[in-house]
Amino acid sequence: MSESVQTETITKPEKNAADNTSTAKKNSILRHRKIPSADLNNMACSLSNETNENMDIGTMAQAEFQHVAAQARDLGRKMWNVCNFHNLPQWLQDNDFLHTGHRPPLNSFQACFQSIFRIHTETGNIWTHLLGCIAFFVMTLYFASRPEEELSFQDKLVFIIYFIGAITCMGFSFVFHTVHCHSETVGKFFSKLDYCGIAILIMGSFVPWLYYGFYCEPYSWILYLILIVALGMVAMVVALWDKFSDPGLRPLRAGVFTTFGLIGVIPALHYGAVEGFFSNFTLISLGWLLLMGFLYISGALLYALRVPERFFPGRCDLLFQSHQIFHVLVILAAFVHYHGITKMAEYRLSKGECEVRPAVV
């Protein structure tokens, strides 16, 4: 038995030495053997998987918590509820006569545009000018597609300029009322675009009126057009003033654009002096223009005074508030103006060539 133990004691070191020699040879072979790139990629993926599997549990828990929190925020945007005026942040407090039905801050453009299909204080403001914008866009396509034999390029152009002014005004208004609850910065930016759109509509409205009103006196209509564009640019600069959108300056905003529109009285008096104040054409064309002006001024007064919600606080939160009525009157005035300039165009085009007479400037 002692011989067996001695033999085993002797053979174990020899066996270990042999194993070490074999392992060294294998490692030498592996070092000198070129491993294919595919095998290297597999090895890298295997190491990466092992690393991911050994990721710290605390890090995984934190990532999962952030994911759940993000989902909760998204769900909150989709499931928001309207709130009272006094629960709004100060930058969203515009009309204190509207007590309920206000949107909370929605820090997502997607949520803002989805709110178009919800009932709140801005729903009427959004849809009135969205539909008006679509209507004038369709009219633009209609005029642009009419053949040259029916309507010349110049006639198309003056009408399309007016349509673009209406589309811009109502489009900016629609977008502003949709996204102004996104954030204070976004609200102020689109508020400026909204007021610039009003100035663009006023400028565009003058183009066909002056063109057909002074059809045979190009110097006069060009002079008036330059005056209107210059005043329009001034109005836009004022609209870009940061404090111009403050709720307390509502009367100033109404006054600026009403005064800009009333500048049209000057070419109207000139027009009446040239055509005759009591001629059929003057009575018809100026009659439609006066109706348009009445609608615009009425809407601006209601907007500035916040009527009727001033007399019925909390009862006009969703319908019949002053801003909605103002939007409706703007659309009506735009269509009235379209009808008026159409009548002027029909008269001028039916007269044929202009009479030779000196231009009145």
First to last CA, the chain: 137
What residue numbers does the annotated binding site for Zn(2+) cover?
177, 323, 327
Q: What contacts 118, CB < 8 A, 6 or more positions away?
A: 103
* CA 30 to each of CA 24, 25, 34: distance values in angstroms, whole numbers, following the listed order: 10, 9, 8
Q: What pLDDT, on a 0 to 100 scale, did the predictor assign at position 36?
A: 52
Is 26 exposed, middle or buried (CB count within 10 Å of its CB: 0-12, 13-18, 19+)? Answer: exposed
* Short-list 41, 44, 349, CA closest to 211: 349
Question: In this structure, which amino acid lies at residue 218?
Answer: P
Cα separation of 280 and 276, whole Å? 9
Reduce the secondary structure of 19-46 to three states and give it as a string: HHHHHHHHHHHHHHCCCCHHHHHHHHHH
Q: What pLDDT, on a 0 to 100 scale, did the predictor assign at position 226?
A: 96
Residue 58 CA from chain centroid, whole number: 44
- How many Cα neighbours within 13 Å face the side chain of 19? 6
What residue numbers does the annotated binding site cover?
177, 323, 327
Q: What is the DSSP letter of 108?
A: -
Compute mean pLDDT per 10 residues along the chain, 361 residues long, and list them: 44 50 51 48 44 57 68 59 96 96 96 97 98 98 91 94 98 98 96 94 95 90 94 89 80 85 86 78 80 92 95 96 97 96 88 59 40
For residue 59 the two structure tokens come to 């890090």
Domains detected in the chain:
106-351 (1.20.1070)
For residue 164 the two structure tokens come to 């673009």
Cα separation of 340 and 287, whole Å? 8
The answer to whether the CB of 347 falls within 8 A of the CB of 281 is: yes
Judged by phi (left if over 0) then psi (alpha if -120 to 50, else beta), residue 360 lies in beta
Q: What pLDDT, on a 0 to 100 scale, did the predictor assign at position 2?
A: 44
Cα separation of 182 and 190, whole Å? 11
Q: What share of the chain is helix, strand, coil (3-state, %, to 5)?
A: 75, 0, 25
Q: What is the DSSP string of 130-199?
A: HHHHHHHHHHHHHHHHS-TTTS-HHHHHHHHHHHHHHHHHHHHHHHHHHHTTS-HHHHHHHHHHHHHHHH
Q: What contacts 162, CB < 8 A, 6 or more positions away?
A: 204, 205, 207, 208, 337, 338, 341
Does this model's pTM top 0.85? no
* CA 229 to each of CA 205, 234, 323: distance values in angstroms, whole numbers, following the listed order: 11, 9, 27
